[in-house]
Structure 1
Amino acid sequence: MVRQRMTGRERREQLISIGRAAFAELGFDGASVEEIAARAQVSKPVVYEHFGGKEGLYAVVIDREMLALEKLVTAALESGSWRSRIEQVTLALLTYVEQDTDGFVILVRDSKPGNQRSYSTLLNTAINQVSHILAEAFAHRGLDQDLAALYAQALVGTVSMTAQWWLDVRTPEKEVVAAHIVNLCWNGLSGMETKPKLKGQA
Protein backbone atom coordinates (compact mmCIF):
# COMPACT_ATOMS: atom_id res chain seq x y z
CA MET A 1 0.00 0.00 0.00
CA VAL A 2 1.41 3.42 -0.97
CA ARG A 3 1.65 5.88 1.91
CA GLN A 4 -0.25 9.10 1.20
CA ARG A 5 2.00 12.11 0.80
CA MET A 6 1.55 14.88 3.38
CA THR A 7 0.55 18.37 2.33
CA GLY A 8 2.95 21.19 3.18
CA ARG A 9 0.80 22.27 6.11
CA GLU A 10 0.54 18.71 7.45
CA ARG A 11 4.31 18.26 7.20
CA ARG A 12 4.89 21.54 9.01
CA GLU A 13 2.55 20.53 11.85
CA GLN A 14 4.24 17.13 12.06
CA LEU A 15 7.68 18.74 12.35
CA ILE A 16 6.44 21.16 15.03
CA SER A 17 5.02 18.27 17.06
CA ILE A 18 8.18 16.18 16.69
CA GLY A 19 10.42 19.17 17.37
CA ARG A 20 8.46 20.00 20.52
CA ALA A 21 8.98 16.49 21.87
CA ALA A 22 12.67 16.51 20.91
CA PHE A 23 13.34 19.89 22.55
CA ALA A 24 11.59 18.76 25.74
CA GLU A 25 13.54 15.51 25.86
CA LEU A 26 16.97 16.65 24.68
CA GLY A 27 17.02 20.40 25.21
CA PHE A 28 17.70 23.01 22.53
CA ASP A 29 21.39 22.14 22.26
CA GLY A 30 20.82 18.39 22.21
CA ALA A 31 18.02 18.34 19.61
CA SER A 32 19.78 18.50 16.25
CA VAL A 33 18.21 18.92 12.82
CA GLU A 34 19.43 15.40 12.07
CA GLU A 35 17.57 14.04 15.10
CA ILE A 36 14.34 15.87 14.26
CA ALA A 37 14.50 14.82 10.61
CA ALA A 38 15.14 11.20 11.58
CA ARG A 39 12.15 11.15 13.93
CA ALA A 40 9.96 12.62 11.18
CA GLN A 41 11.43 10.19 8.64
CA VAL A 42 12.35 13.02 6.27
CA SER A 43 15.62 14.43 4.98
CA LYS A 44 17.31 17.40 6.69
CA PRO A 45 16.50 19.77 3.78
CA VAL A 46 12.78 19.32 4.53
CA VAL A 47 13.30 20.81 8.01
CA TYR A 48 15.31 23.68 6.55
CA GLU A 49 12.68 24.26 3.89
CA HIS A 50 9.92 24.77 6.46
CA PHE A 51 11.81 26.57 9.25
CA GLY A 52 15.22 27.64 7.97
CA GLY A 53 16.89 25.50 10.64
CA LYS A 54 16.59 24.40 14.25
CA GLU A 55 16.34 27.96 15.56
CA GLY A 56 13.32 28.70 13.40
CA LEU A 57 11.52 25.55 14.50
CA TYR A 58 12.34 26.28 18.14
CA ALA A 59 10.98 29.83 17.80
CA VAL A 60 7.66 28.49 16.48
CA VAL A 61 7.41 25.95 19.32
CA ILE A 62 8.16 28.62 21.96
CA ASP A 63 5.66 31.05 20.45
CA ARG A 64 2.88 28.45 20.44
CA GLU A 65 3.54 27.44 24.04
CA MET A 66 3.65 31.05 25.15
CA LEU A 67 0.33 31.85 23.47
CA ALA A 68 -1.34 28.77 24.97
CA LEU A 69 -0.13 29.45 28.50
CA GLU A 70 -0.75 33.19 28.28
CA LYS A 71 -4.34 32.48 27.24
CA LEU A 72 -4.84 30.17 30.24
CA VAL A 73 -3.36 32.66 32.71
CA THR A 74 -5.32 35.62 31.34
CA ALA A 75 -8.59 33.69 31.37
CA ALA A 76 -7.99 32.55 34.96
CA LEU A 77 -7.48 36.14 36.14
CA GLU A 78 -10.35 37.75 34.23
CA SER A 79 -13.19 37.34 36.69
CA GLY A 80 -14.19 36.21 40.14
CA SER A 81 -13.43 37.28 43.70
CA TRP A 82 -9.85 38.09 44.68
CA ARG A 83 -9.40 34.67 46.25
CA SER A 84 -11.06 32.76 43.41
CA ARG A 85 -8.72 34.38 40.88
CA ILE A 86 -5.70 33.21 42.86
CA GLU A 87 -7.24 29.72 42.96
CA GLN A 88 -8.03 29.76 39.25
CA VAL A 89 -4.58 30.87 38.08
CA THR A 90 -2.81 28.42 40.39
CA LEU A 91 -4.89 25.50 39.16
CA ALA A 92 -4.57 26.67 35.53
CA LEU A 93 -0.76 26.60 35.70
CA LEU A 94 -0.68 23.19 37.39
CA THR A 95 -3.13 21.84 34.79
CA TYR A 96 -0.83 23.10 32.03
CA VAL A 97 2.11 21.33 33.70
CA GLU A 98 0.06 18.13 33.87
CA GLN A 99 -1.42 18.17 30.37
CA ASP A 100 1.31 19.96 28.39
CA THR A 101 4.42 18.77 30.20
CA ASP A 102 6.69 19.02 27.15
CA GLY A 103 5.69 22.62 26.58
CA PHE A 104 6.27 23.60 30.21
CA VAL A 105 9.65 21.87 30.25
CA ILE A 106 10.72 23.80 27.16
CA LEU A 107 9.56 27.13 28.59
CA VAL A 108 11.12 26.86 32.06
CA ARG A 109 14.26 24.82 31.39
CA ASP A 110 15.37 25.84 27.94
CA SER A 111 13.95 29.25 27.09
CA LYS A 112 16.83 31.58 26.33
CA PRO A 113 17.15 34.79 28.39
CA GLY A 114 16.71 37.91 26.29
CA ASN A 115 14.18 36.37 23.92
CA GLN A 116 11.27 38.67 23.17
CA ARG A 117 8.86 35.95 24.29
CA SER A 118 9.96 33.71 27.14
CA TYR A 119 8.60 32.24 30.36
CA SER A 120 9.91 35.25 32.26
CA THR A 121 7.99 37.65 29.99
CA LEU A 122 4.84 35.63 30.61
CA LEU A 123 5.41 35.85 34.36
CA ASN A 124 5.80 39.62 34.02
CA THR A 125 2.42 39.76 32.27
CA ALA A 126 0.86 37.72 35.08
CA ILE A 127 2.54 39.93 37.70
CA ASN A 128 1.07 43.06 36.11
CA GLN A 129 -2.42 41.51 36.10
CA VAL A 130 -2.12 40.28 39.69
CA SER A 131 -0.73 43.66 40.75
CA HIS A 132 -3.85 45.36 39.40
CA ILE A 133 -6.09 42.89 41.25
CA LEU A 134 -4.16 43.34 44.50
CA ALA A 135 -4.21 47.13 44.20
CA GLU A 136 -8.02 46.98 44.26
CA ALA A 137 -7.94 44.59 47.21
CA PHE A 138 -5.44 46.77 49.09
CA ALA A 139 -7.55 49.90 48.54
CA HIS A 140 -10.59 48.06 49.87
CA ARG A 141 -8.69 47.04 53.02
CA GLY A 142 -6.93 50.34 53.60
CA LEU A 143 -3.49 49.03 52.69
CA ASP A 144 -0.79 50.77 50.66
CA GLN A 145 -1.62 50.26 46.96
CA ASP A 146 1.97 51.12 45.99
CA LEU A 147 3.05 47.79 47.51
CA ALA A 148 0.71 45.74 45.28
CA ALA A 149 3.49 45.12 42.71
CA LEU A 150 5.79 43.73 45.43
CA TYR A 151 3.13 41.31 46.64
CA ALA A 152 2.27 40.33 43.07
CA GLN A 153 5.91 39.39 42.50
CA ALA A 154 5.85 37.22 45.62
CA LEU A 155 2.55 35.54 44.74
CA VAL A 156 3.39 34.77 41.12
CA GLY A 157 6.86 33.61 42.14
CA THR A 158 5.37 31.23 44.70
CA VAL A 159 2.99 29.70 42.17
CA SER A 160 5.64 29.45 39.45
CA MET A 161 8.35 27.87 41.61
CA THR A 162 5.90 25.40 43.14
CA ALA A 163 4.73 24.42 39.65
CA GLN A 164 8.34 23.74 38.63
CA TRP A 165 8.81 21.57 41.74
CA TRP A 166 5.57 19.69 41.03
CA LEU A 167 6.72 19.09 37.44
CA ASP A 168 9.18 16.53 38.82
CA VAL A 169 7.38 15.07 41.83
CA ARG A 170 3.73 15.01 40.65
CA THR A 171 2.50 14.37 44.16
CA PRO A 172 0.22 15.24 45.84
CA GLU A 173 -2.50 15.80 43.24
CA LYS A 174 -2.66 19.23 41.60
CA GLU A 175 -5.86 20.19 43.43
CA VAL A 176 -4.15 19.51 46.76
CA VAL A 177 -1.07 21.48 45.73
CA ALA A 178 -3.24 24.39 44.53
CA ALA A 179 -5.22 24.38 47.79
CA HIS A 180 -2.03 24.62 49.86
CA ILE A 181 -0.60 27.42 47.73
CA VAL A 182 -3.83 29.37 48.07
CA ASN A 183 -3.92 28.62 51.79
CA LEU A 184 -0.49 30.19 52.21
CA CYS A 185 -1.15 33.13 49.90
CA TRP A 186 -4.71 33.96 50.90
CA ASN A 187 -4.47 33.49 54.63
CA GLY A 188 -1.25 35.46 54.56
CA LEU A 189 -3.02 38.25 52.68
CA SER A 190 -6.12 38.20 54.85
CA GLY A 191 -4.07 38.69 58.01
CA MET A 192 -1.62 41.26 56.65
CA GLU A 193 -0.32 43.99 58.90
CA THR A 194 -0.39 47.57 57.62
CA LYS A 195 3.31 48.11 58.39
CA PRO A 196 4.98 44.71 58.86
CA LYS A 197 8.43 44.43 60.50
CA LEU A 198 10.84 41.56 60.84
CA LYS A 199 10.92 40.11 64.36
CA GLY A 200 14.65 40.79 64.73
CA GLN A 201 14.33 44.46 63.85
CA ALA A 202 13.14 47.29 66.05
Structure 2
Amino acid sequence: MGEAAGQDTAQKDGPRPRKRMSGTERREQLIAIGRSLFSERGYEATAIEEIAQRAHVSKPVVYEHFGGKEGLYAVVVDREMATLHKAITASLSTHRNLAPHSSRLRLERVTLALLTYVEEHSEGFRILVRDSPVAAADGTYSSLLNEAIGQVEYLLAADFARRSLDPDLAALYAQALVGVVSSSATWWLDVRRPSKEVMATHLVNLCWNGLAHLSAEPTLDPRTLEFGARGAGLAPAEERD
Protein backbone atom coordinates (compact mmCIF):
# COMPACT_ATOMS: atom_id res chain seq x y z
CA MET A 1 0.00 0.00 0.00
CA GLY A 2 2.77 2.38 0.85
CA GLU A 3 4.45 1.61 -2.47
CA ALA A 4 1.20 2.18 -4.37
CA ALA A 5 0.66 5.44 -2.55
CA GLY A 6 4.18 6.48 -3.48
CA GLN A 7 3.52 5.70 -7.14
CA ASP A 8 0.28 7.69 -7.05
CA THR A 9 2.11 10.65 -5.57
CA ALA A 10 4.83 10.44 -8.27
CA GLN A 11 2.18 10.34 -10.99
CA LYS A 12 0.39 13.35 -9.55
CA ASP A 13 3.61 15.28 -9.22
CA GLY A 14 4.56 14.48 -12.84
CA PRO A 15 8.11 14.22 -14.20
CA ARG A 16 10.73 16.08 -12.28
CA PRO A 17 12.05 19.20 -14.00
CA ARG A 18 15.52 18.99 -15.53
CA LYS A 19 18.37 20.20 -13.40
CA ARG A 20 19.37 23.67 -14.49
CA MET A 21 22.86 23.80 -15.98
CA SER A 22 25.48 26.04 -14.49
CA GLY A 23 27.07 28.65 -16.74
CA THR A 24 30.18 26.47 -17.14
CA GLU A 25 28.15 23.38 -17.98
CA ARG A 26 26.10 25.27 -20.55
CA ARG A 27 29.23 26.69 -22.15
CA GLU A 28 30.78 23.22 -22.46
CA GLN A 29 27.55 21.87 -23.94
CA LEU A 30 27.47 24.60 -26.59
CA ILE A 31 31.14 24.02 -27.44
CA ALA A 32 30.52 20.29 -27.92
CA ILE A 33 27.49 20.92 -30.13
CA GLY A 34 29.29 23.58 -32.13
CA ARG A 35 32.32 21.31 -32.60
CA SER A 36 30.11 18.54 -33.97
CA LEU A 37 28.26 20.83 -36.38
CA PHE A 38 31.38 22.65 -37.58
CA SER A 39 33.00 19.30 -38.31
CA GLU A 40 29.95 17.96 -40.12
CA ARG A 41 28.99 21.04 -42.14
CA GLY A 42 31.76 23.59 -41.97
CA TYR A 43 31.66 27.11 -40.58
CA GLU A 44 29.51 28.77 -43.21
CA ALA A 45 26.81 26.07 -43.26
CA THR A 46 26.43 26.02 -39.48
CA ALA A 47 23.78 28.33 -38.06
CA ILE A 48 23.39 29.73 -34.57
CA GLU A 49 19.73 28.70 -34.70
CA GLU A 50 20.62 25.01 -34.99
CA ILE A 51 23.24 25.22 -32.26
CA ALA A 52 20.65 26.76 -29.94
CA GLN A 53 18.00 24.26 -30.98
CA ARG A 54 20.22 21.27 -30.25
CA ALA A 55 21.08 22.72 -26.86
CA HIS A 56 17.39 23.46 -26.14
CA VAL A 57 18.12 27.10 -25.47
CA SER A 58 17.33 30.38 -27.15
CA LYS A 59 19.75 32.12 -29.52
CA PRO A 60 20.52 34.87 -26.99
CA VAL A 61 22.05 32.25 -24.69
CA VAL A 62 24.62 31.39 -27.37
CA TYR A 63 25.36 35.07 -27.94
CA GLU A 64 25.70 35.59 -24.20
CA HIS A 65 28.45 32.98 -23.97
CA PHE A 66 30.36 33.58 -27.20
CA GLY A 67 29.11 36.78 -28.81
CA GLY A 68 28.05 34.82 -31.89
CA LYS A 69 29.05 31.96 -34.18
CA GLU A 70 32.50 33.40 -34.84
CA GLY A 71 33.31 33.49 -31.14
CA LEU A 72 32.18 29.90 -30.64
CA TYR A 73 34.16 28.74 -33.65
CA ALA A 74 37.29 30.48 -32.37
CA VAL A 75 37.01 28.65 -29.04
CA VAL A 76 36.58 25.30 -30.79
CA VAL A 77 39.59 25.89 -33.06
CA ASP A 78 41.67 27.17 -30.15
CA ARG A 79 41.03 24.00 -28.15
CA GLU A 80 41.81 21.71 -31.05
CA MET A 81 44.99 23.60 -31.80
CA ALA A 82 46.08 23.33 -28.17
CA THR A 83 45.46 19.56 -28.17
CA LEU A 84 47.34 18.96 -31.43
CA HIS A 85 50.16 21.33 -30.52
CA LYS A 86 50.67 19.53 -27.22
CA ALA A 87 50.87 16.15 -28.98
CA ILE A 88 53.32 17.38 -31.64
CA THR A 89 55.51 19.23 -29.15
CA ALA A 90 55.65 16.23 -26.83
CA SER A 91 56.66 13.94 -29.68
CA LEU A 92 59.61 16.19 -30.54
CA SER A 93 60.70 17.22 -27.05
CA THR A 94 60.74 13.69 -25.63
CA HIS A 95 63.98 13.01 -27.47
CA ARG A 96 65.44 16.50 -27.40
CA ASN A 97 68.69 15.29 -25.82
CA LEU A 98 69.36 12.44 -28.22
CA ALA A 99 72.28 12.45 -30.64
CA PRO A 100 71.90 14.02 -34.10
CA HIS A 101 71.38 10.63 -35.77
CA SER A 102 68.09 10.34 -33.86
CA SER A 103 66.38 12.47 -36.51
CA ARG A 104 64.60 9.40 -37.84
CA LEU A 105 63.18 8.65 -34.41
CA ARG A 106 61.86 12.21 -34.21
CA LEU A 107 60.26 11.85 -37.64
CA GLU A 108 58.62 8.59 -36.59
CA ARG A 109 57.30 10.08 -33.34
CA VAL A 110 55.86 13.24 -34.88
CA THR A 111 54.23 11.28 -37.72
CA LEU A 112 52.60 8.85 -35.32
CA ALA A 113 51.54 11.71 -33.03
CA LEU A 114 49.70 13.44 -35.89
CA LEU A 115 47.98 10.22 -36.98
CA THR A 116 46.99 9.50 -33.38
CA TYR A 117 45.39 12.93 -33.14
CA VAL A 118 43.50 12.30 -36.40
CA GLU A 119 42.29 8.96 -35.04
CA GLU A 120 41.21 10.21 -31.62
CA HIS A 121 40.01 13.70 -32.56
CA SER A 122 38.54 13.21 -36.03
CA GLU A 123 35.95 15.97 -35.68
CA GLY A 124 38.58 18.43 -34.54
CA PHE A 125 40.96 17.56 -37.37
CA ARG A 126 38.20 18.04 -39.95
CA ILE A 127 37.66 21.52 -38.56
CA LEU A 128 41.36 22.40 -38.60
CA VAL A 129 42.10 21.28 -42.15
CA ARG A 130 39.29 23.39 -43.56
CA ASP A 131 40.07 26.98 -44.49
CA SER A 132 39.46 28.75 -41.20
CA PRO A 133 37.58 32.06 -41.47
CA VAL A 134 38.53 32.87 -37.90
CA ALA A 135 41.96 33.34 -36.38
CA ALA A 136 41.93 31.53 -33.07
CA ALA A 137 44.00 32.71 -30.14
CA ASP A 138 46.75 30.12 -30.72
CA GLY A 139 46.74 30.44 -34.51
CA THR A 140 45.56 27.99 -37.13
CA TYR A 141 46.51 24.60 -38.50
CA SER A 142 48.67 26.36 -41.09
CA SER A 143 50.59 28.16 -38.35
CA LEU A 144 51.17 24.85 -36.57
CA LEU A 145 52.48 23.31 -39.78
CA ASN A 146 54.80 26.28 -40.22
CA GLU A 147 56.14 25.72 -36.71
CA ALA A 148 56.72 22.03 -37.49
CA ILE A 149 58.43 23.00 -40.74
CA GLY A 150 60.75 25.29 -38.82
CA GLN A 151 61.76 22.53 -36.43
CA VAL A 152 62.27 20.03 -39.24
CA GLU A 153 64.31 22.60 -41.18
CA TYR A 154 66.59 23.05 -38.18
CA LEU A 155 67.21 19.31 -37.94
CA LEU A 156 67.77 18.91 -41.67
CA ALA A 157 70.16 21.86 -41.94
CA ALA A 158 72.49 20.29 -39.38
CA ASP A 159 72.22 16.91 -41.09
CA PHE A 160 72.87 18.41 -44.54
CA ALA A 161 75.96 20.23 -43.29
CA ARG A 162 77.42 17.00 -41.92
CA ARG A 163 76.84 15.29 -45.28
CA SER A 164 78.28 18.14 -47.39
CA LEU A 165 74.82 18.95 -48.79
CA ASP A 166 73.61 22.52 -49.18
CA PRO A 167 72.02 23.47 -45.80
CA ASP A 168 70.21 26.36 -47.50
CA LEU A 169 67.98 23.76 -49.16
CA ALA A 170 66.80 22.42 -45.79
CA ALA A 171 63.77 24.73 -45.89
CA LEU A 172 62.65 23.25 -49.21
CA TYR A 173 62.95 19.68 -47.95
CA ALA A 174 61.24 20.55 -44.67
CA GLN A 175 58.26 21.94 -46.59
CA ALA A 176 58.10 18.75 -48.66
CA LEU A 177 58.38 16.40 -45.67
CA VAL A 178 55.73 18.13 -43.57
CA GLY A 179 53.51 18.45 -46.63
CA VAL A 180 53.70 14.71 -47.34
CA VAL A 181 52.80 13.77 -43.77
CA SER A 182 50.02 16.37 -43.44
CA SER A 183 48.44 15.58 -46.80
CA SER A 184 48.59 11.85 -46.13
CA ALA A 185 46.99 12.33 -42.71
CA THR A 186 44.11 14.22 -44.36
CA TRP A 187 43.60 11.33 -46.78
CA TRP A 188 43.82 8.77 -43.96
CA LEU A 189 41.13 10.66 -42.02
CA ASP A 190 38.48 9.16 -44.31
CA VAL A 191 39.90 5.78 -45.31
CA ARG A 192 41.39 4.70 -41.93
CA ARG A 193 43.44 1.96 -43.50
CA PRO A 194 46.06 0.74 -43.07
CA SER A 195 46.47 1.19 -39.31
CA LYS A 196 48.13 4.37 -38.06
CA GLU A 197 51.27 2.40 -37.13
CA VAL A 198 51.55 0.91 -40.64
CA MET A 199 50.75 4.31 -42.15
CA ALA A 200 53.49 5.98 -40.10
CA THR A 201 55.94 3.22 -41.02
CA HIS A 202 55.48 3.74 -44.75
CA LEU A 203 55.48 7.52 -44.59
CA VAL A 204 58.78 7.44 -42.72
CA ASN A 205 60.07 4.83 -45.15
CA LEU A 206 59.36 7.16 -48.07
CA CYS A 207 60.68 10.29 -46.41
CA TRP A 208 63.70 8.88 -44.62
CA ASN A 209 65.03 6.65 -47.37
CA GLY A 210 64.58 9.51 -49.79
CA LEU A 211 66.65 11.75 -47.53
CA ALA A 212 69.27 9.06 -46.96
CA HIS A 213 70.03 8.84 -50.68
CA LEU A 214 69.97 12.49 -51.66
CA SER A 215 72.24 13.49 -54.50
CA ALA A 216 74.48 16.46 -53.82
CA GLU A 217 73.82 17.78 -57.33
CA PRO A 218 70.50 16.44 -58.62
CA THR A 219 69.54 17.18 -62.22
CA LEU A 220 66.52 16.87 -64.45
CA ASP A 221 66.57 14.71 -67.53
CA PRO A 222 67.31 16.88 -70.61
CA ARG A 223 64.06 15.66 -72.15
CA THR A 224 62.17 17.04 -69.16
CA LEU A 225 63.90 20.39 -69.53
CA GLU A 226 62.98 20.43 -73.21
CA PHE A 227 59.39 19.58 -72.35
CA GLY A 228 59.29 22.41 -69.82
CA ALA A 229 60.74 24.85 -72.34
CA ARG A 230 57.83 24.05 -74.65
CA GLY A 231 55.36 25.06 -71.93
CA ALA A 232 54.75 21.59 -70.45
CA GLY A 233 52.08 20.85 -73.00
CA LEU A 234 50.26 24.15 -72.55
CA ALA A 235 49.11 26.33 -75.40
CA PRO A 236 51.74 28.61 -77.01
CA ALA A 237 52.45 31.82 -75.12
CA GLU A 238 50.61 33.96 -77.65
CA GLU A 239 47.50 31.78 -77.24
CA ARG A 240 47.76 31.80 -73.44
CA ASP A 241 47.85 35.59 -73.49
TM-score interval w.r.t. the shorter chain?
A: over 0.9
Q: Aligned match of 1:39 in 28, 46, 54?
A: 54
Q: Which moved more, 1:71-80 or 1:31-40?
A: 71-80
Q: CA deviation at 1:22?
A: 0.8
Equivalent residue, structure 2, for 1:72? 87
8 A contact 2:74–2:135 mirrored in 1: no
Q: 1:144 Cα shift?
A: 1.5
Structure 1: distance between partners of 2:134 and 2:73: 14
Q: Distance between the aligned counterparts of 1:25 and 1:192, measured in 2?
A: 42
For structure 1, the 5+ residue unaligned runs are: none
Paired AA for residue 72 in structure 1: A
Larger Rg: 2
What is the aligned counterpart of 1:191 among 203, 207, 213? Answer: 213
Q: Which residue of 1 aligns with 2:13?
A: none
Q: How far apart are the structure 2 equivalents of 1:17 and 1:108?
A: 18
Say whether residues 1:59 and 2:80 are aligned partners: no
Letter in 2 for 1:57: L
- 1: CA distance, partners of 2:145 / 2:77: 15
User: Using the alignment, how far apart are the partners of 2:148 and 2:186 within structure 1?
Assistant: 16
Which residue in the other structure is 1:112 paired with?
A: 133
Q: List per-residue Cα deviations over 1:12-39 (Å, max 9, x = no partner).
A: 1111111101100111111101111111
Matched residue SS, 1:65: helix
CA–CA separation in structure 1 for the residues paired with 2:121 and 2:156 = 29
Between 102-111 and 114-123, report the one with greater CA deviation: 114-123
Give the match's secondary structure for 1:68: helix
* Distance of aligned partners of 1:105 and 1:9 in 2 relative to their CA distance in 1, 3 Å threshold: same
**Which digits, 9 at most, give the CA deviation of each residue in 1:23-57, with x for residues without a partner?**
00111111101111111111111100000000100
Q: Go from structure 1 to structure 2 and tell me whether the alpha carbon gap of 1:113 and 1:148 turns closer, same or farther (over 3 Å shift).
A: farther
Residue segments in structure 2 that go unaligned for 5+ positions in a row: 1-15, 227-241
Any conservation in 2 of the 1:90–1:178 contact (CA below 8 Å)?
A: yes
- Please give the alpha-carbon distance, in whole angstroms, between the structure 2 residues aligned to 1:164 and 1:102: 12
- 1:83 paired residue number: 104
1:129 corresponding residue in structure 2: 151
Q: Answer with 14-23 or 66-75: which moved more.
A: 66-75
Aligned residues: 202
How far residue 114 of structure 1 moved from its aligned partner, in angstroms, is: 7.2
Structure 2: distance between partners of 1:168 and 1:180: 18
CA shift, 1:2, in A, is 3.0
- Classify 1:45/1:115 alpha carbon distance in 2 versus 1 (closer, same or farther; 3 Å): closer
Q: Are the counterparts in 2 of residues 37 and 43 from structure 1 also a CA contact under 8 Å?
A: yes
Residue type at the aligned position of 1:122:
L
Once superposed, what is the RMSD of the aligned Cα atoms?
Answer: 1.7
| Range that drifts further, 148-157 or 73-82 | 73-82
TM-score (ref. length: structure 1): 0.94
Which residue number corresponds to residue 152 of structure 1? 174
Q: Secondary structure at the match of 2:43?
A: helix
1:143 is aligned with what amino acid? L
Which secondary structure does the structure 2 equivalent of 1:31 belong to? coil
Three-state SS of the structure 2 residue aligned to 1:28 is: coil
Which is further off, 61-70 or 148-157?
Answer: 61-70
Aligned-residue sequence identity (percent) comes to: 63
Counterparts of 2:221 and 2:207 in 1: how far apart (Å)? Answer: 20
TM value normalised by structure 2: 0.79
Question: Following TM superposition, by how much is the alpha carbon of 1:194 offset from its aligned partner in structure 2, in angstroms?
Answer: 1.1
